[in-house]
Amino acid sequence: MRQLFLFLALTLLAAHPAGAVMPPVHYQLQAEASAIKAIARVEKVEPLDSSRRFSTQKTTFKLMGDPYRIGVSERFSGTSSAVLHIWQKPGVGGNVYLYPKVGELVFVTVAENGGAITSYTPLTPALEKSLMETPWRIRYGMRTAQVEKVRAINDWFILEIKGERAGYLHAEGRLDGDLVQLLDYELVVKEDGVIRQVDMNHRLRNDRKMTPLQMSLSHMIYVLKVEHALGRSIQEQLLEFKEVPADLVQDGILIPEAGREPNSLKVPPGMMTDLMLFEMVTRLPFQKNLPFRFHLMEAGELHLKKGMILQYQGRDHKEGGLHHFVETTQGGSSYWLDDRHTLIKAAWGHDTRFVRIDEVEATTIFQ
CA angle, corner 343, sides to 196 and 155, nearest 5?
Answer: 50
Q: Residue 15's pLDDT is what? A: 34
Query: Is residue 104 within 8 Å of 41, Cβ to Cβ?
Result: yes
- Using CA atoms, how far apart are residues 229 and 64, in angstroms rounded to an integer? 60
- Using CA atoms, how far apart are residues 280 and 184, in angstroms rounded to an integer? 14
Q: Residue 340's pLDDT is what? A: 78
- Using CA atoms, how far apart are residues 321 and 344, in angstroms rounded to an integer? 12
Residue 2 clears pLDDT 70, i.e. is over it: no
Domain boundary among 99, 119, 147: 147
- Using CA atoms, how far apart are residues 261 and 190, in angstroms rounded to an integer? 32
Would residue 205 count as lying in a domain?
Answer: yes
Would residue 237 count as lying in a domain?
Answer: yes
Q: Residue 92's pLDDT is what? A: 63
Over residues 155-164, the mean pLDDT reads 93
Among 3-12, 106-115, 165-174, which range has the highest average pLDDT? 106-115
Q: Residue 223's pLDDT is what? A: 66
> What spatial distance separates the first Cα and last Cα of the chain, rounded to whole Å?
50
Q: Residue 7's pLDDT is what? A: 34
DSSP SS3 for 26: helix
What would the pLDDT profile of 262-309 be if each residue is shown by its tens digit? 788 899 999 989 999 998 898 888 888 888 999 999 988 889 999 999
Residue 8 clears pLDDT 80, i.e. is over it: no
Query: Is residue 18 within 8 Å of 51, Cβ to Cβ?
Result: no
Over residues 145-158, the mean pLDDT reads 84
70 plus 169 within the same structural domain: no
100 plus 79 within the same structural domain: yes
Domain boundary among 121, 147, 173: 147
41 plus 172 within the same structural domain: no
User: DSSP for 108-129?
Assistant: EEESSTTSBEEEEEE--HHHHH
Residue 147 clears pLDDT 90, i.e. is over it: no
Here the CATH number for the domain that contains residue 165 is: 2.50.20
DSSP SS3 for 84: coil
For 278, counting Cβ atoms within 10 Å of its Cβ (0-12 exposed, 13-18 middle, 19+ buried), the class is buried
What would the pLDDT profile of 212-265 be if each residue is shown by its tens digit? 888 988 888 776 554 454 555 566 788 889 999 999 999 898 888 766 667 888
What would the pLDDT profile of 100-116 be if each residue is shown by its tens digit? 999 999 999 999 999 99
Would residue 9 count as lying in a domain?
Answer: no
Please, which pLDDT band fits residue 176 given cuts at 50, 70 and 90?
A: low
Distances, alpha carbon 308 to alpha carbons 82, 94, 208, 270, 305, in Å: 49, 50, 17, 10, 7
173 plus 120 within the same structural domain: no
- Using CA atoms, how far apart are residues 348 and 241, in angstroms rounded to an integer? 25
For 212, counting Cβ atoms within 10 Å of its Cβ (0-12 exposed, 13-18 middle, 19+ buried), the class is buried
Would residue 12 count as lying in a domain?
Answer: no
139 plus 204 within the same structural domain: no
Would residue 260 count as lying in a domain?
Answer: yes
Domain boundary among 147, 172, 189: 147
321 plus 176 within the same structural domain: yes
Would residue 10 count as lying in a domain?
Answer: no
Would residue 285 count as lying in a domain?
Answer: yes
130 plus 212 within the same structural domain: no
Q: Which residue has the higher pLDDT, 225 or 338?
A: 338
253 plus 305 within the same structural domain: yes
Please, which pLDDT band fits residue 62 given cuts at 50, 70 and 90?
A: very high
DSSP SS3 for 118: strand
211 plus 320 within the same structural domain: yes
Q: Name the nearest CA neighbour of 63 among 78, 48, 53.
A: 78
218 plus 339 within the same structural domain: yes
195 plus 288 within the same structural domain: yes
154 plus 176 within the same structural domain: yes
Distances, alpha carbon 95 to alpha carbons 117, 188, 230, 249, 270, in Å: 12, 49, 63, 58, 46
Here the CATH number for the domain that contains residue 96 is: 2.40.50
Name the average pLDDT for the chain. Answer: 83
Report the domain count for the chain: 2
- Domain range enclosing 195: 150-363
Would residue 2 count as lying in a domain?
Answer: no
Q: Name the nearest CA neighbour of 207 among 286, 134, 282, 267.
A: 134
Residue 1 clears pLDDT 80, i.e. is over it: no
- Using CA atoms, how far apart are residues 143 and 133, in angstroms rounded to an integer? 22
Q: Residue 16's pLDDT is what? A: 35
